Structure 1
Amino acid sequence: MLIGLSVMHLVQGQADLSIGDLFSSWDQRTEAIMGVRFPRLIVGILAGGCLAMAGLVLQTMTKNPLASAGTLGINAGAYLFVVIGTLFFPGVNASFLFSFLGACFAAFLVFMLAGKTMSPVRIVLTGMIITLLFGALTSSLQLMYEQESNGLFLWGAGTLMQNDWSGVAFIWPFALFLGLLAILSGKKFDLIHLGDEAAKGLGLPLGFVKTWGWALGILLASATVSVVGPIGFIGLMAPHLVRLMGIRGHRLQFVHTFMWGAVILIAADVLSRLISPNSELPVGAMTAFIGSPWLMYLAYKAARKMRSDKQKLTSSKKTLNPIVVTISLIGVSLVVAYVSISFGGGQFTSIQEMFAGKLVDQVTIQFRWPRVLVSFLVGALLALCGALLQNVLKNPLGDPSIIGITSGGGAGALLILVVFPSLPYIFLPIGAVIGSIMAVLIVILATKRSGFEPISLALMGVAVSAMASGVIQILTVKASLSVSPALVWLAGSTYRSTWDNVVWLLVMLVILVPFTLSLSKHLNVLAFSNEVSISLGSKVKLLRITSIVIAVLIGAVCVSIVGAIGFIGLLAPHAARALVGSAFQRVIPVSMMIGGTLLIIADFLSRYILYPTEIPSGLLVALVGAPYILYVMRKL
């Protein structure tokens, strides 16, 4: 398979080169072509093999079938530190050193935050949340230093593109020597499978072996990231393929895993070039698209073994008067809105200018007012979406960004934008709705048997989001979209808000909020078990379907207008329940006010902090939201 794929790989490219040319006498033209294609092939083989071996050793160290450099956040940490090194230490040519430090930092965070249980689903979900957090930080740096990081976008998505043999010269010693050391250590890794006590009883220096195993996995991943960027899912798939083939013992598994990693990565690169022969598609996006279903399957198997422990969406016993809280939040939102509207051109509007009509002149009304209104309406609607999902799924991690609505909607909207650019604007939210529906259906059907267990549902949503993100990256590169606007849209921004957007959002608000409030008493009953809810006269299935449809509509329309802003739907309902209790008729208005106010604040800070450079508000929300998810997980 590897030989056949390698031949296919070598003949691919813009310049014609047949299979016969590979075995005939080479002229200068052939040598020039092969000077680019052959290094790309060798780097692909070595990188795929290193990532696969890293996945195998990490799965052994964590005793976790879901572990890999990608799912544990190691790739994201390495990528973040490489970007930091490129931007702030341009004279230091030490990409591997930065990559290694970032990988170590990510592994340390995951190990510390996953908890003592180190259950398979929990540790991987922690790793993927760390990936989201580091991804937000990396995107922020790329946007703030657009010129300096101009060449990092394609590499950051994972690419095998090589211009010479320097990449091969760097990575082959790591692949050779670390691979040999891994094979020589195979017997010791075999003993770890017997359990810690049994391994110690057989004389294994357990602490040393585990430290060496983690170092081996991090070194292999770091070397790969520093050359080809963060490529995920290879280390997840290859070891499982080897085990499914019945190969036992780590010595043999390392050899076969290396080969299968090379096969998968070269096949993904061949496929990406078949899809887009005239442009460079990131192979990392292709492996994410291929590997996400594998992660879903493994997460589904792991979730079935977990003891389902339903979490009640309870709040503090001491709650505040909802009317007082709502009025107070309205006052806060008005103050925040005024501050945001008054800021422009690097300065605030003075009191004298305000009374002179500065805040209602043509420029302010055309640009600042719709931006602030869109921020509030999107934040409020996303909060409503999160409240519905958390209630109907009895899941404190319910959020449109976590269960795939945001990324699915983004992929659907971008697909309409790229494939059918001549269609009117009305079709953009339609594409977003279709994408969101498909993402949610996958997540819901995959977690139904486990009873929508919180952590497994979140992990399934992350897997769907990874697949959708791969589609988005492919479409972005395929359509030759400008890197900066693409990053802004993917991160979420209200930069291009218009009055048409305000009208769309107001229509949704006027229709959906009263309808949801009319269902609030029935939605309160869903907090009980299905048997109790049915005995009280509630149509449980109809309520759940209706709530999910409303949530999908909200998430999809918001994505089509402002891009992928996440975590508002997670933060606002939790804060609302802490303030006014868990009664749904109280949670809805309070959480919507909190969500709207949060996004206005994020939007203002995105313009103010680094003026005139603007940070997407979605990134600021993610920097707060990702740590909060980790906090919620610690309580589950």
Structure 2
Amino acid sequence: MPEARLAASGRDSVIGGISGWIMVGAILLGLAAALFLLNLSRLVPPAAWPALLAGADDLRAIMARDGLAPRFCAGLLGGGALGLASVVLQQVLRNPLAEPGTLGIFAGAKCAIAASIIWAPGLLSLGWDLPALAGGLGVAVFVLLFSARSGFAPATVTLVGLIASLVFGAFGTMLVLTHFDTLGDLYIWEAGSLIQNGWGSVLALGPKLGLVSLAIVLLMRPLSAMQIEGAERLGVRTSLVRGATMLAAVGLSALVASTVGLISFLGLAGAAIARGAGARRLSTRLIAAPLIAAGLLVLTDQALLALAGGIEIPAGITVMLVSVPLLLWMLQRTPVASSAPAAMSAPMRLQVGTAPAFIGLGSALIASFALATTLGPGPDGWQLAHGRLLAELSIWRLPRITAACCAGAMLAMAGSLLQRLTRNAMASPELLGISSGTALMLLVATLFLPGLDRSGTAALSCLACLAILGCVLRLSRRSAFAPDHLLLIGAGLGALLASLLSILLVIGDPRILRVIGWLSGSTYSVDAAEARAIVLATALALLLPLPLVRWIGLMSLGEPVGRSLGMPIAGARLAIVLVVAVLTGIATLFVGPLSFVGLMAPHLARRLGTRTALAEIYGSALVGAVLMVLADWAGRTIAFPWQIPAGLIATALGGAYFVMTAWKR
């Protein structure tokens, strides 16, 4: 009898689970279909719908038959494909947070398409599928190579994927900034617009997605067997299965990206809702996640059409705004398997000692300042400025070099404090979303509060940074500040910033070019007065850690140790958070949110042998200053006369550094 009751209970739970995800999918698709019919009735009265099939050729009939209807079908195909790709990626990597956006596949597709438009337009004669597939596949191989040594641990895969997204995203932004006339329209495509001008794209996309989906169905059995311990002894060729399924998932993502744009987090949302609605087995999730993701996308798109009042807002933006809160909820409810914080990395190999390290870093800062001030290309080639020419150039060069130096120092100090506060070597203002969130607030202030002066904007920046940092730490505390949770929270805030930026692009605000440059970490708009202000702010900021030095040192030992030694945990945490907020807020105000300095500088400072908390903080400041000065100089010279923002150069350098570190480890 107990066995019978258990079996009956199991059958009931399966039936309940199936009913759950079917119900969710049916509700989403039903609402989307109802809104589609509403939008259709606004174009063509229901009594005239038969005429659409008969080939009516008036303007409204054409808009309905060749615009609205294929748009609805494109949403179904694109959403379903992204849901299926996310399930496959999560299964093969054993990572519930894997999806094309977090693994950098979309960033690679964007870079490849942008490069093809500039240098190889002939490749696009057959469409964007091939470049998108090549770029996405290249980044996927990159992520797999650098995650293989860890056995594809979720934290490592997520970290490498996010680094790949930042690096390739920075490269793509460089291309757009230097070829804006050619690539300006990519921003609309990147936002994930479902606009269709006929059935051609849908009819071409459907069979391709069908073939790739069939390949996934054929791979389902070995893919399920991979989860069994010792699968290779049972005859499962795990490497071959992993490669084939990854190729299929990248193919689905690339096909959707080339047709409707980049719709990040949609697949993650579909897979998460499917699991929450009872789809536990792989075979069930392969049906449920595409169904739910397709419903989410078409429902969002049709709702925007019904409510936007004629303004075309890409569905990818709104889907992201819905999916990011879902991601944060997932991180709260379902901790990732590897939830231990990343240990603070000890100095490796190169250890020169504290005093020699500071002497060397000080000399490097002076040398980099001199290099950036005197050496650069001009109309007649490279030249070393001196005398009158140096005096004339210094008016333009010194303010931006000073701003880069000071901002790099403050971001590096903030990164060091965050890593000690969370005992997480991967914490930084950039990756935790603090810089992006602060930039989001400053972007809103720039566009909607234009009367604010520099001091008012600085105060708003620091307050926004404080609020966002408090939110990030609150959301991450349950998982003990696990690296994967912190990084994905940062990715979510970065996605929100990208969504707002895309909305502004759709609206067509003429100030967008200036905003894009600032968000990329540009220093070339800094004048002498602003340079003096940031020097003063940095001088004061260097004093902020001094009263907290004992608490900072104890914080890295953990709360139990600090409490036993009489440290007020809540007060210490609040004080450090306030200092980080001020440092990040001021630095972001001058150079934007995009760089790796806050993450990379503390690692380099520890490698040089800075042992105490205070030595690490100030050593990080020197490293950050040197890195940003060199990044600003490189951005000014490598593509002369074009100007590459220092933040993009720093992101590329930081990504390369962490790639090498991950490979060595």
Q: TM-score of the superposition, structure 1-length normalised?
A: 0.89
Retained in 2: the 8 A contact 1:346–1:611? no
| Match for residue 220 of structure 1 among 252, 274, 285 | 252
1:519 is aligned to 2:548: yes
1:41 is aligned to 2:72: yes
Structure-1 residue corresponding to 2:449:
420
- Look up the equivalent residue of 2:321 and give its one-letter code: F
Retained in 2: the 8 A contact 1:276–1:478? no
Range that drifts further, 509-518 or 18-27 = 18-27
1:375 is aligned to 2:408: no
Range that drifts further, 271-280 or 211-220 = 271-280
Retained in 1: the 8 A contact 2:522–2:647? yes
Q: 1: distance between equivalents of 2:664 and 2:47?
A: 62
Retained in 2: the 8 A contact 1:10–1:38? no
Q: 1: distance between equivalents of 2:248 and 2:137?
A: 11
Q: Which runs of 4+ in 1 moved over 6 A?
A: 347-351
Structure-1 residue corresponding to 2:24:
none
Post-superposition shift, 1:224?
A: 0.7
1:81 is aligned to 2:112: yes
Q: Secondary structure at the match of 1:54?
A: helix
Structure-1 residue corresponding to 2:19:
none
Structure-1 residue corresponding to 2:154:
120
Range that drifts further, 398-407 or 231-240 = 231-240
Structure-1 residue corresponding to 2:615:
586
Structure 2 CA distance for partners of 1:491 and 1:478, relative to 1, 3 Å = same
Q: Deviations over 1:135-155 (max 9, x none)?
A: 111111222222222221211
Retained in 2: the 8 A contact 1:400–1:569? yes
Post-superposition shift, 1:608?
A: 0.6
Retained in 2: the 8 A contact 1:418–1:475? no
Unaligned runs of 5+ in 1: none
Range that drifts further, 453-462 or 134-143 = 453-462
Retained in 1: the 8 A contact 2:143–2:161? yes
Structure 2 CA distance for partners of 1:16 and 1:396, relative to 1, 3 Å = same
1:104 is aligned to 2:131: no
Q: Secondary structure at the match of 1:508?
A: helix
Structure 2 CA distance for partners of 1:606 and 1:271, relative to 1, 3 Å = farther
- Look up the equivalent residue of 1:134 and give its one-letter code: F
Q: Deviations over 1:257-309 (max 9, x none)?
A: 33212111123324555675444334333222222223333344554643625
1:67 is aligned to 2:98: yes
Structure 2 CA distance for partners of 1:36 and 1:423, relative to 1, 3 Å = farther
- Look up the equivalent residue of 1:127 and give its one-letter code: G
Q: 2: distance between equivalents of 1:89 and 1:318?
A: 44
| Match for residue 528 of structure 1 among 557, 560, 564 | 557
Post-superposition shift, 1:537?
A: 3.7
Q: Deviations over 1:591-632 (max 9, x none)?
A: 222211211111111111111111111111111112334455
Retained in 1: the 8 A contact 2:155–2:483? no
Structure-to-structure mapping, 1:97-496, within 5 angstroms: 97-114=130-147, 115-183=149-217, 186-193=220-227, 195=228, 197=230, 201=234, 209-247=241-279, 249-270=281-302, 272-273=304-305, 276-301=308-333, 303=335, 305-306=337-338, 308=340, 311-315=343-347, 319-320=351-352, 322-342=354-374, 343=376, 345-346=378-379, 354-356=386-388, 358-361=389-392, 364-365=394-395, 367-478=396-507, 480-481=509-510, 484-496=513-525
Q: 1: distance between equivalents of 2:71 and 2:454?
A: 41
Retained in 2: the 8 A contact 1:385–1:551? yes
Structure 2 CA distance for partners of 1:482 and 1:160, relative to 1, 3 Å = farther
Structure-2 residue corresponding to 1:546:
575
Range that drifts further, 430-439 or 219-228 = 430-439
Post-superposition shift, 1:49?
A: 0.9
Q: Deviations over 1:206-226 (max 9, x none)?
A: 555444422321221121111
Structure 2 CA distance for partners of 1:111 and 1:509, relative to 1, 3 Å = same
Post-superposition shift, 1:323?
A: 4.6
Q: 2: distance between equivalents of 1:399 and 1:432?
A: 17
Structure-1 residue corresponding to 2:29:
2
Identity %: 24
Post-superposition shift, 1:492?
A: 1.1
Retained in 2: the 8 A contact 1:70–1:232? yes
- Look up the equivalent residue of 2:288 and give its one-letter code: H
Post-superposition shift, 1:479?
A: 5.7
| Match for residue 30 of structure 1 among 60, 73, 86 | 60
Structure-1 residue corresponding to 2:5:
none
Post-superposition shift, 1:555?
A: 1.2
- Look up the equivalent residue of 2:346 and give its one-letter code: T
Q: 1: distance between equivalents of 2:349 and 2:394?
A: 45
Q: How many residues align?
A: 629
Q: Secondary structure at the match of 1:111?
A: helix
Range that drifts further, 493-502 or 515-524 = 515-524
Cα RMSD (Å): 3.1
Structure 2 CA distance for partners of 1:476 and 1:510, relative to 1, 3 Å = farther
Post-superposition shift, 1:64?
A: 2.2
Q: Deviations over 1:227-259 (max 9, x none)?
A: 112211122121232233224555554333332
Q: 1: distance between equivalents of 2:509 and 2:38?
A: 24
Retained in 2: the 8 A contact 1:397–1:632? no
Q: 2: distance between equivalents of 1:246 and 1:310?
A: 32
Range that drifts further, 462-471 or 181-190 = 181-190
Q: 2: distance between equivalents of 1:66 and 1:536?
A: 39
Q: 2: distance between equivalents of 1:252 and 1:324?
A: 61
Structure 2 CA distance for partners of 1:236 and 1:568, relative to 1, 3 Å = same
Structure-to-structure mapping, 1:610-621, within 5 angstroms: 610-621=639-650
Q: Secondary structure at the match of 2:35?
A: helix
Q: Deviations over 1:469-518 (max 9, x none)?
A: 32333344446246643432221110111233224323322322113123
Q: 2: distance between equivalents of 1:287 and 1:117?
A: 32
Q: 1: distance between equivalents of 2:304 and 2:171?
A: 28
- Look up the equivalent residue of 1:607 and give its one-letter code: R
Retained in 2: the 8 A contact 1:81–1:102? yes
Q: Secondary structure at the match of 1:514?
A: coil
Range that drifts further, 134-143 or 331-340 = 331-340
Post-superposition shift, 1:448?
A: 1.0
Retained in 1: the 8 A contact 2:402–2:535? no
Q: 2: distance between equivalents of 1:582 and 1:322?
A: 7
Structure 2 CA distance for partners of 1:310 and 1:541, relative to 1, 3 Å = farther
Structure 2 CA distance for partners of 1:562 and 1:315, relative to 1, 3 Å = same
Q: 2: distance between equivalents of 1:427 and 1:281?
A: 32
Q: TM-score of the superposition, structure 2-length normalised?
A: 0.86
Retained in 1: the 8 A contact 2:544–2:579? no
- Look up the equivalent residue of 2:479 and give its one-letter code: S
- Look up the equivalent residue of 2:131 and give its one-letter code: F
Q: 1: distance between equivalents of 2:605 and 2:282?
A: 51
Post-superposition shift, 1:12?
A: 5.6
Q: 1: distance between equivalents of 2:351 and 2:136?
A: 43
Retained in 2: the 8 A contact 1:602–1:617? yes
Range that drifts further, 282-291 or 4-13 = 4-13
Unaligned runs of 5+ in 2: 1-27
Structure-1 residue corresponding to 2:601:
572
Range that drifts further, 44-53 or 279-288 = 279-288
